[in-house]
A and B are shown apart, each in its own frame.
Chain A
C-alpha cells in the first residue's frame, strides 16, 4: 500500500519569498508522485508529476519538486511566491494501480 504525509497543514509566506511544501511518501513499489492544487470551490488541478524519469520535475506556475528516494521525499518549491499561489496543495501517490492516495493537504497563505 502507498501513502503520503504532508508536514504542516498551514504555511504562510510573504510575497516574493521561497515556497517550500513538504511531502514524504511510503510505497512498496516504485511510486508515481504528484502535486495538485485546489483553489476555493474548485476541483483539484495537476501541478506536476514524477513518473520515474528525471528526479527534478518542473510544473506549471513556476513550481518544481525533487524526488529523493533516500529521503522518501517529494517536496514542492517555488523560488518566489505570488499572491495568486494562495491555495491548498495536495501531494499524492499511486502504486501499480491507479488508486491515487492524497495527503491531508497544506494551505498556503501569501502575505503582501
Chain B
C-alpha cells in the first residue's frame, strides 16, 4: 500500500507569495493531521480532520494559514501571504478511526518550505 503522499517535497518561494502544500492520506484512514516542524518549536499540531471535517484548528498560527479537505483522499494547507518565519517542514499524517485508531500516525515525508 502507498503511504501518505505529500507534495511538493521542497518549495522555495519569496515572501508574499501563496504556498499550497498537498497531502494524500492512506486509503481508509479517517483522520488527517497537519504538523509543522521547526528547530525552535519542534513538532506543532496545526489542524486535524476527521471524516473530512476540521475538528481542531487551534494550532493554526494565524489567518494566513488555511487547510481544507474536500474529500477523503486529498487535503491542502495554504499559506497566503507567506513570510520568512513560515519556513519549516510541514508534515501530513493519517490514522484510522477509533480511540487512537491503532494509535499509530502514518507520516508523509514532509514538505520543506523556505520563504525568502
CA distance A36 to B91 in the complex (A): 14
CA distance A32 to B97 in the complex (A): 14
Smallest CB separation, B100 vs chain A (Å):
4
* A90 contacts chain B at the CB level, 8 A cutoff: yes
Number of chain B residues whose Cβ lies closer than 8 Å to a Cβ of chain A? 26
Apart from A43-B110, A98-B48, A103-B42: 10 A-B pairs, beta carbons within 8 A:
A43-B107, A43-B108, A49-B102, A90-B43, A94-B100, A98-B31, A99-B33, A99-B45, A99-B55, A99-B56
- In the complex, chain A residues whose CB is within 8 Å of the CB of B86: none
- Residue in A34, A41, A96, A99 whose beta carbon sits within 8 Å of that of B103 in the complex: A34
A39-51: CB near B (< 8 Å → 1, else 0) gives 0011111100101
Whether the Cβ atoms of B42 and A102 lie closer than 8 Å is: yes
Whether the Cβ atoms of B99 and A100 lie closer than 8 Å is: no
- In the complex, chain A residues whose CB is within 8 Å of the CB of B4: 43
* A104 contacts chain B at the CB level, 8 A cutoff: yes
Q: A32-B99, A97-B55 are in contact. Are A45 and B107 (CB under 8 A)?
A: yes
Q: Which residue of A lies closest to B92 (CB)?
A: A43
Whether the Cβ atoms of B103 and A32 lie closer than 8 Å is: yes
* B15 contacts chain A at the CB level, 8 A cutoff: no
Whether the Cβ atoms of B103 and A51 lie closer than 8 Å is: yes
Whether the Cβ atoms of A43 and B48 lie closer than 8 Å is: no
- In the complex, chain B residues whose CB is within 8 Å of the CB of A101: 45
* B104 contacts chain A at the CB level, 8 A cutoff: yes
Smallest CB separation, B102 vs chain A (Å):
8
